[in-house]
Amino acid sequence: MKKLYIASDIIEARLLDTILKSQGLSSVVRNENLQGGIGELPYVEIWPEVWINNSNDWEAAQEVLIEFTEIGPKEDWVCPKCQESNPGSFQTCWSCNASIYFTAE
């Protein structure tokens, strides 16, 4: 296992984890249940972390992370599943709910 990302909150960690899994990458969120320790534990020790289980997935996971952390407006995109046009701010298709990262198999 290798740590890919330290998230600012559990929602961000879960979102990245879901995107990684939608790409077929094996990941896990750690420190998920430590959020209740705020005030009792050092804050930096309880930040949610996203870890990659398989070292063969590392490069693909880094590419997903780069896309995930890009700042700024994104261009509109066409859903790779249903071909509907979506605003750049959407991560999932408004029509079929497929992820922007959907890959046809």
Residue 10, domain extent: 2-71
The domain that holds 9 is classified in CATH as: 3.30.70
What was the pLDDT predicted at 57?
A: 94
pLDDT per residue of the chain (105 residues) written in tens, 0 to 9: 999 999 888 889 999 999 999 999 999 999 877 666 566 665 666 789 999 999 999 999 999 999 888 765 578 989 988 999 999 878 888 999 888 776 655
Same domain (yes/no): 77, 47: no
What was the pLDDT predicted at 73?
A: 59
Calpha distance 18→49 (Å, rounded) = 13
Three-state DSSP class for residue 103: coil
Same domain (yes/no): 50, 98: no
Same domain (yes/no): 105, 57: no
Six token digits for residue 37: 């320790």
Radius of gyration (C-alpha) of the chain in whole angstroms: 15
Q: How many domains does the chain have?
A: 2
What was the pLDDT predicted at 41?
A: 61
Taking the complete model, does pTM exceed 0.85, yes or no?
no
Six token digits for residue 41: 């534990």
Same domain (yes/no): 20, 65: yes
Q: Are 30 and 90 spatial neighbours (Cβ–Cβ below 8 Å)?
A: no
Calpha distance 2→16 (Å, rounded) = 15
